[in-house]
Amino acid sequence: MQGVSAREAHGAVAPLVEEAFRALSKAFRAWQLYLPNNPMRERALDTARSAFAACFADDGIALRVLVRESEFVFEGHVVHRELDRPTDGIPWILYRDGVRVLTLHTGFESEALTPFLQILQRARQAAPDDDDLVTMLWVADLETLHYRFVDVGGVPDATALSTHRAGGGQFDAGGHGDRPGVGLAAAESPLLGDGPPGVLRMEDFDSTLYFLDARELAYLQDEVRSEFGQDPRRAVLATLFDIIELRREDDVRAEAIEHIESTMIDLLAGGAYELTAYALREARITASRSEALSSELQHRLVALADRLSDPAVVAQLLQAVDEGSRAPGAETLEALVAELRGAALSPLLSWLAQSPLGAARGSVERAVMRLAEQHTAELVRLIEGPDGSVALGAIRLSAQLRTSAAVPGLTRVLRGADLSLRLDAVHALSSIGSTGALQALEPLVDDEDRDVRVAAVRAVATHRYMAALPRLTRALARKELRSAERTEKTALFDAFGTICGDTGVPTLDAVLNARSLLGPRESTEMRACAARALGLVGTRLAADALRKSVDAKDAVVRNEVSRALRGASA
């Protein structure tokens, strides 16, 4: 490529090039849809001219793009791809007739843009006996448009090629010498090897009536199915969004938005979930990208997602998923839910609470996660909602997102009577791990419910929350601890040993080594838990306390002391 700017030399895909080819595609679409005197057609052309003019702002720059079946590639990056109707776009029309490289020079936007679109339209509508695209480009002799081609329809006419004028500059020989007009296939064609130049032999052609092989027939059948399988409603929606973006009259834009609004509910009710997700995505992008839109029109575009986020509408969608008759695919469902608003969280969480495992559930979970990240206020509101299943889902989401905004609501849940909600609130606060969350967990060390106490103690130990040490010390001195289950004892001693340091060694030493006249004062379980906690302290003072019981008669205590000493030495 000649005249490459500094921006492109670093390998980055220039946004100006992407915008230019996007504008070229829209101009070609407008060329097909509107008459020459239609302002929409001229406005699309002006947009394309301005976009290419911005690309050619640097003197001597040239845009060289590779042509593939459905995309243009610039500097190794795809700058434009036809997704909706790939066989009707500019890349396919060029590729079908053998053009593989386009090089656009300064002045293309003013001199060659309109003739180029005319040629593309003629090639698109050409009959089998009409000239192909390469011939049309050769006749047009566009100075600012160069191209490189391969012969895909047979051997080119050698006589015509040899008489092509050298100054036209349309053909890029690309490694075939300086012979003007020779394409990629012509220079290497074996058919021109024997006999005088320009003379073809009938033996080189297949005279069979059915000349297509199985692979070519399969390709044509796939293309026919793809062409006739396209949903025309998608093209209508694309045209309406083009009108909103390209037209400047607010009344025309408002009418286009009105048509989109009337279509949305029908699409969802008819099971066109992919089109619904497409319309919501385009509405969001158009509202954010079109600076000329009034605030009222932007609000109407954004409100499309608000209407579909109504809990009643979302409930109908989820009912279709449960019934399975017209259920959307997992990817489509995820794309649709991701475009909704916070109001949809309540029915979605309620559905997740009772839905079985499967691809649909996984898709909704991922989409709900992104939805909750964008609408934290709605998530916090649902934590204290009246629906227990929704509240439970909201609490678990807040734990996954680790949002500090949920701490006040989770703290109020801890004062409630629902044990399952309280336990999940403890786990959520532990996951959040902020100072406010740990302050809310500290009083639960003395909670009436055993499971809540154990969960709170483990959370405090996980975060090494030093402010909880006095409460843990008092909990170790409770008489009720002696009759508690081993799980609770272990959790409490582990938390104390993790946090206390040398200041807690005397307390643990008293539990492990204190003796009365008749033997040890504490039970085997209490002494074993104290030895384990001393091992967690891991200091020299703790090791000295452990050595006092290294020869304990109780095998359980002796084994725990040995294990703690090995951990301390390691």
Cβ neighbours around 422 below 10 Å, total: 22
Residue 253 inside a domain? The answer is no
Cα–Cα distance measured from residue 237 to residue 256, given in angstroms and rounded to the nearest whole number: 9
Q: Quickly count: other Cβ atoms within 10 Å of residue 414's Cβ.
A: 19
**Residue 181: both structure tokens together:** 């007009």
Mark whether 183 and 58 lie in a shared domain: yes
- In this prediction, residue 236 has a pLDDT band, given cuts at 50, 70 and 90, of confident
Given this model, what pLDDT does residue 278 score? 85
**pLDDT at residue 451 in the model:** 92
pLDDT in tens, 147-161: 998 876 544 443 333
pLDDT of residue 310 exceeding 90? no
The Cα–Cα gap between 232 and 243 comes to 17
Q: Would you place residue 203 in the very low, low, confident or very high pLDDT band (cuts 50, 70, 90)? A: low
Per-residue pLDDT averaged across 481-506, rounded? 90
93/144 same-domain check = yes
- Domains in the chain: how many in total? 3
Query: What is the dihedral sign for C-alpha 261, 334, 340, 270?
Result: positive
Whether 283 is covered by a domain: the verdict is no
Please tell me the predicted confidence (pLDDT) of residue 459.
93
Same domain, 479 and 450: no
**Residue 498: band (very low, low, confident or very high) from pLDDT cuts 50, 70, 90:** very high
Decide if pLDDT at 317 tops 80: no
More reliable by pLDDT, 526 or 169: 526
Same domain, 509 and 440: no
The DSSP bridge pattern shows strands 519-520 and 515-516 to be antiparallel
Query: H/E element holding 63?
Result: strand 62-67
543 and 472, same structural domain? yes
The pLDDT value recorded for residue 153 is: 54
Q: Which residue, of 463, 485, 501, is where some domain finishes?
A: 463
% of residues, the chain, pLDDT over 90: 15
Is residue 569 domain-shared with residue 450, that is, in the same domain?
A: no
pLDDT at 199: 56
Q: What is the mean pLDDT of the chain?
A: 79
- 24 shares its domain with 128: yes
Last residue of a domain, one of 221, 239, 273: 221
List of residues 6+ apart from 131 with CB closer than 8 A = 139
Residue 559 near residue 550, CB atoms below 8 Å: no
Claim to verify: residue 389 and residue 474 sit in the same structural domain: no
Amino acid 565: pLDDT: 87
Query: What is the tens place of the pLDDT at every residue in 103-115?
Result: 999 888 888 999 9
Q: Find the CATH number of the domain harbouring 390.
A: 1.25.10.10
Element of type H or E holding 345: helix 345-354
Do 455 and 541 belong together in one domain?
A: no
Report if residue 524 sits inside a domain: yes
Nearest CA among 557, 550, 565, 498 for reference residue 529? 557
Whether 62 is covered by a domain: the verdict is yes
The 10s digit of each residue's pLDDT in 500-522 is 999 999 999 888 888 765 556 78
User: Which of 206-210, 248-252, 471-475 is predicted with the least confidence, judged by mean pLDDT?
Assistant: 206-210
Same domain, 177 and 38: yes
Note the pLDDT of residue 466: 92
487: pLDDT strictly greater than 80 = yes
359 — pLDDT class (breaks 50, 70, 90): low
Whether 357 is in a domain gets the answer no
Q: Domain of 497?
A: 468-570
Q: Which two tokens stand for residue 564?
A: 């703690």
Last residue of a domain, one of 417, 433, 463: 463
Q: What average pLDDT does range 466-484 have in this prediction?
A: 89
What pLDDT, on a 0 to 100 scale, did the predictor assign at position 173? 37
Q: Can you give the CATH number for the domain in which 479 is found?
A: 1.25.10
Residue bearing the bigger pLDDT, 328 or 262: 262
The one-letter amino acid at 272: A
Band of pLDDT at residue 101, cut at 50, 70 and 90: very high
Look at residue 316 and tell me if it is in a domain: no
pLDDT of residue 190: 41
Same domain as 488, residue 450: no
| Residue 204 in domain | no
Question: Which helix (DSSP H) or strand (DSSP E) does residue 113 occupy?
Answer: helix 113-124
Say whether pLDDT at 270 is over 80: no
Could you tell me which of 58, 51, 59, 83 has the C-alpha nearest to residue 69? 83
Cβ atoms within 10 A of the Cβ of 313, count?
19
For 435-472, the pLDDT digits (tens) are: 999 999 999 988 899 999 999 999 999 999 999 999 99
> Are 16 and 155 within one domain?
yes
- Residue at 361 is within a domain: no
Inter-residue contact 327 to 359 (CB < 8 Å): no
181-187 average pLDDT score: 40
Q: Is it the case that residue 178 has pLDDT exceeding 80?
A: no
